[in-house]
Amino acid sequence: MSKTYKNFIGGKRVPAQSGKTYENRSPADTSDIVGIFPYSDASDVKLAVEAAKKAYETWRKVPAPKRGEIMRKAAELMVARKEAIAKIMTREMGKVLKETRGDVQEGIDTAFYAFGESRRLHGQTVPSELPNKTCMVFHQPVGVWGIISPWNFPMAIPTWKIFPALTTGNTVVFKPATDTPATAGEFVEILAEAGVPDGVVNIVYGPGKAVGEAIINDPDIRGVSFTGSSLVGKHIAEVCGKTLKRCSLELGGKNAQIVMEDADLGLALEGVLWGAFGTTGQRCTATSRLILHESIHDEFVARLADRARALKVGDGLDEANEMGPCVSEAQRKSIHNYVEIGIKEGAKLVCGGQALTDAAHKKGWFYAPTIFSDVLPDMMIAKEEIFGPVLSVLKCKDINEAVRILNNTVYGLSSAVYTRDINRAFRAIDDIEAGITYINAPTIGAECHLPFGGVKETGNGHREGGWTAFDIFSELKTVYIDYSGGLQKAQIDTWD
Domain of 34: which CATH number? 3.40.605.10
225 and 210, same structural domain? yes
Residues 154 and 44 in one domain: yes
Banded model confidence at residue 490, pLDDT cuts 50, 70, 90: confident
The pLDDT tens digits of the residues spanning 161-201 come to 999 999 999 999 999 999 999 999 999 999 999 999 999 99
Which CATH number do you get for residue 287? Answer: 3.40.309.10
Same domain, 157 and 35: yes
**Based on the domain organization, do 218 and 79 belong to the same domain?**
yes
Dump pLDDT digits (tens) for 378-400: 999 999 999 999 999 999 999 99
> Percent of the chain at pLDDT above 70?
99
* Catalytic positions, written as ranges: 250, 284
pLDDT at 492: 80
For the chain, what is the mean pLDDT?
97
The answer to whether residue 401 sits within a structural domain is yes
* d(C-alpha 369, C-alpha 287), whole Å: 13
Q: State pLDDT tens for residues 68-109.
A: 999 999 999 999 999 999 999 999 999 999 999 999 999 999
Is 315 in the same domain as 213? no
Going by DSSP bridges, is the β-strand pair 355-356/366-367 parallel, antiparallel, or unpaired? antiparallel
Residues 216 and 268 in one domain: no
Is residue 1 predicted with pLDDT exceeding 70?
no
pLDDT at residue 306 in the model = 98
Residues 6 or more apart whose CB falls under 8 angstroms from that of 324 comprise 27, 28, 90, 93, 94, 95, 96, 280, 313, 314, 315, 316, 366
- Pair 407, 469 in one domain: no
Region 470-486: mean pLDDT is 97
For the chain, how many structural domains are there in total?
2
Residues pairing with 481 in the sheet: 134
Closest residue by Cα to residue 164 from 219, 211, 225: 225
Shared domain check, 234 and 317: no
Residue 495: what pLDDT? Answer: 55
pLDDT digit string (tens) for 403-434?
999 999 999 999 999 999 999 999 999 999 99
449 domain residue, yes or no: no
* CA distance to 79, 210, 272, 274, 278, per residue, from 215 (Å): 31, 9, 38, 36, 32
Residue 97 lies in a domain: yes
- In the predicted structure, residue 496 carries a pLDDT above the cut 80: no
Mean pLDDT of 337-360: 98
Establish if 379 belongs to a structural domain: yes
Per-residue pLDDT of 250-270, as tens digits, reads 999 999 999 999 999 999 999
Same domain, yes or no: 260 and 226? no
- 444 assigned to some structural domain: no
**Residue pLDDT, tens place only, 272-327:** 999 999 999 999 999 999 999 999 999 999 999 999 999 999 999 999 999 999 99
45 occurs within a structural domain: yes
Domain span at residue 186?
Answer: 3-251+459-479
208 plus 280 within the same structural domain: no
280, part of any domain: yes
Closest CA to 313 of 287, 275, 280, 359: 280
Per-residue pLDDT band for 491 (boundaries 50, 70, 90) equals: confident
Residues 474 and 395 in one domain: no
410 vs 231: CA distance, rounded Å: 12
pLDDT exceeding 90 applies to what percent of the chain?
A: 98
Q: What is the pLDDT of residue 220?
A: 98
Q: Tell me what pLDDT residue 42 has.
A: 98
Domain shared by 350 and 469, yes or no = no
Cut 0.85: pTM above it:
yes
Residues with Cβ within 8 Å of 333's Cβ and at least 6 positions away in sequence, in order, are none
115 lies in a domain? Answer: yes
